[in-house]
Amino acid sequence: MEVQQIKQRFGIIGNSPLINRAIDIAVQVAPTDLSVLITGESGSGKEVFPKIIHQYSARKHESYIAVNCGAIPEGTIDSELFGHEKGSFTGAHDARKGYFEVADKGTIFLDEVGELPLSTQVRLLRVIETGEFIRVGSSKAQKTDVRVVAATNVNLMEAIYQNKFREDLFYRLNTVPITIPSLRARKEDIFLLFRKFANDFAERYRMPSIKLNEDAQRILINFKWPGNVRQLKNITEQISIIEQERNISPEALQAYLPVSTMPNLPAIYKPVDEKTFASEREILYQVLFDMKRDVNDLKKLVNEIIHHGTDDVTVREENAQLIKKFYADNDQSISHDYTPRQDSYHPPQTDSHIIEDTEEYVEESLSLQDKEIELIKKALDKHKGKRKYAAQNLGISERTLYRKIKEYDIDG
């Protein structure tokens, strides 16, 4: 089967060697039952390749099921994938087949597999290794014969290091890896894609197709496209609908390209769960505690210098400057007549309580839970109770925020 025929069948545009290589690997692995892991940035077109693998396999006449693992709530993901028995949980009024049972003899595509909870990863590993699964609420193992193709835009090796993804599952899924190139890695395809999208939208909206002059083409090709093919398609559609002039100038094109000073990194969404949220706070607290310890060490040093002095004139002057600077905001901390003299050194007469005053600390709770509740309340107050924006501000998922509000019985 020629690569060009596959492109036409599945609507793949481009002649980049990288995209051709990905197609070639997909066709070669299709007749086998090996697990395939497809990696690539968000918007790069990963969802097409599981269809190629299924259509050129012996399972092409059986079921093909695509599951977005990141879109299913953690509490129901096991039920969705493996099914459940009647009464196994609240709302389970009837027994239900899961995707692995429905897709028996066929192919199941697990998109965003990096978002699976660790408990579900254990179940998935068992299915891949033995072909067995157990419905939620059941103790009876069932058999299934399913080809698993997974995809992710998350760096799974980093997730393994952070204990968010099982290493054994990674190697089971990654039997055959396929890497989908980013759009900026296949510059020769950018204008081809733009022209295809422009013609499609012109036909859909019954209007003349937009065109770019040479300068505009150059801008289009050199843009970094963090959202990849999806972003290019969206911008092409915007221009097709909004612009009255069908010959697009560089100035008109630039108005639709987002301006960003951020580095050109992959457009990867890495959700932050409650464990990450807690670990980040712990790091912040550790930094603060380290700073506090350093300040205490400095105070001890200053106290020692004040009471014992030094014989070196230069060092005495430096010590004096350090002391004055350190206690600049505290008029009671050092005598105003503390001035180094050339003939003899007399430490300033100061009561011990002056140094002790600088050691006073405001007593506050260092409980991570208390700090977490405080942060959540502040975020909710800031966004007037709108949990979606509060969750974004906190850097956690909306689902995690709901659970925390319920767990801590927070009004909001």
Regarding whether 189 and 170 lie in a shared domain, the answer is no
The CATH number linked to 29 is 3.40.50.300
Residue-level pLDDT at 361 = 47
Q: Are strands 141-143 and 132-134 parallel, antiparallel or unpaired?
A: antiparallel
Residue 227's nearest CA partner among 259, 267, 192 is 267
Regarding whether 21 and 164 lie in a shared domain, the answer is yes
For the chain, the farthest-separated pair of C-alpha atoms sits apart, in whole angstroms, at 100
Which of 181, 205, 223 represents a domain boundary (last residue)? 181
Which of 132, 156, 181 represents a domain boundary (last residue)? 181
Residue-level pLDDT at 410 = 85
Residue 292 lies in a domain: yes
Domain range for 193 is 184-254
Other Cβ atoms within 10 Å of 81 Cβ, number? 23
Per residue of the chain (412 residues), what is the pLDDT tens digit?
588 999 999 999 999 999 999 999 999 999 999 999 999 999 999 999 999 999 999 999 999 999 999 999 998 999 999 999 998 888 888 999 999 999 999 999 999 999 999 999 999 999 999 999 999 999 999 999 999 999 999 999 999 999 999 999 999 999 999 999 999 999 999 999 999 999 999 999 999 999 999 999 999 999 999 999 999 999 999 999 999 999 999 999 999 998 753 344 444 444 555 555 556 666 777 777 777 777 777 777 677 666 666 555 555 565 555 555 555 544 444 444 444 444 444 444 544 444 444 444 445 556 778 888 888 888 888 888 888 888 888 888 888 888 888 888 887 6
**Whether pTM exceeds 0.75:** no
Contact 51, 218 (CB under 8 A): no
Residue-level pLDDT at 37 = 97
Residue 262 lies in a domain: no
Regarding whether 158 and 22 lie in a shared domain, the answer is yes
Contact 190, 183 (CB under 8 A): yes
Contact 144, 101 (CB under 8 A): yes
Contact 185, 193 (CB under 8 A): no
How far apart (Å, rounded) are the C-alpha atoms in residues 50 and 112? 13
Residue 156's nearest CA partner among 122, 119, 113, 121 is 113
The CATH number linked to 389 is 1.10.10
Regarding whether 239 and 156 lie in a shared domain, the answer is no
Residue-level pLDDT at 340 = 46
Residue 332 lies in a domain: yes
Residue-level pLDDT at 358 = 45
Regarding whether 133 and 98 lie in a shared domain, the answer is yes
Regarding whether 336 and 216 lie in a shared domain, the answer is no
Regarding whether 376 and 342 lie in a shared domain, the answer is no
Residue 173's nearest CA partner among 22, 53, 35, 33 is 35
The CATH number linked to 231 is 1.10.8.60
Residue 22 lies in a domain: yes
120 CB contacts (<8 Å, ≥6 apart)? Answer: 77, 78, 81
Which stretches does DSSP call E strand in 202-270? 211-212, 247-248
Two tokens at 157?
A: 């090796």
Residue 267 lies in a domain: no
Residue with tokens 């901390």: 333
Residue 343 DSSP code: S
Residue-level pLDDT at 194 = 96
Regarding whether 334 and 195 lie in a shared domain, the answer is no
How far apart (Å, rounded) are the C-alpha atoms in residues 83 and 71? 17
Residue 155 lies in a domain: yes
Residue 241 lies in a domain: yes
Regarding whether 281 and 250 lie in a shared domain, the answer is no
Regarding whether 231 and 151 lie in a shared domain, the answer is no
Regarding whether 164 and 31 lie in a shared domain, the answer is yes
Q: Determine which helix (DSSP H) or strand (DSSP E) holds 65, and give its type and residue range.
A: strand 64-68
Identity (one letter) of the amino acid at 57? S
How far apart (Å, rounded) are the C-alpha atoms in residues 226 and 129? 36
Identity (one letter) of the amino acid at 2? E
The SS3 assignment for 255 reads coil
Residue 109 lies in a domain: yes
End-to-end CA distance of the chain: 59
Which of 336, 357, 378 represents a domain boundary (last residue)? 357
Regarding whether 53 and 12 lie in a shared domain, the answer is yes
Backbone dihedral angles phi then psi of residue 402, each to the nearest 5 degrees: -55, -45
Number of domains in the chain: 4
How far apart (Å, rounded) are the C-alpha atoms in residues 412 and 28? 54
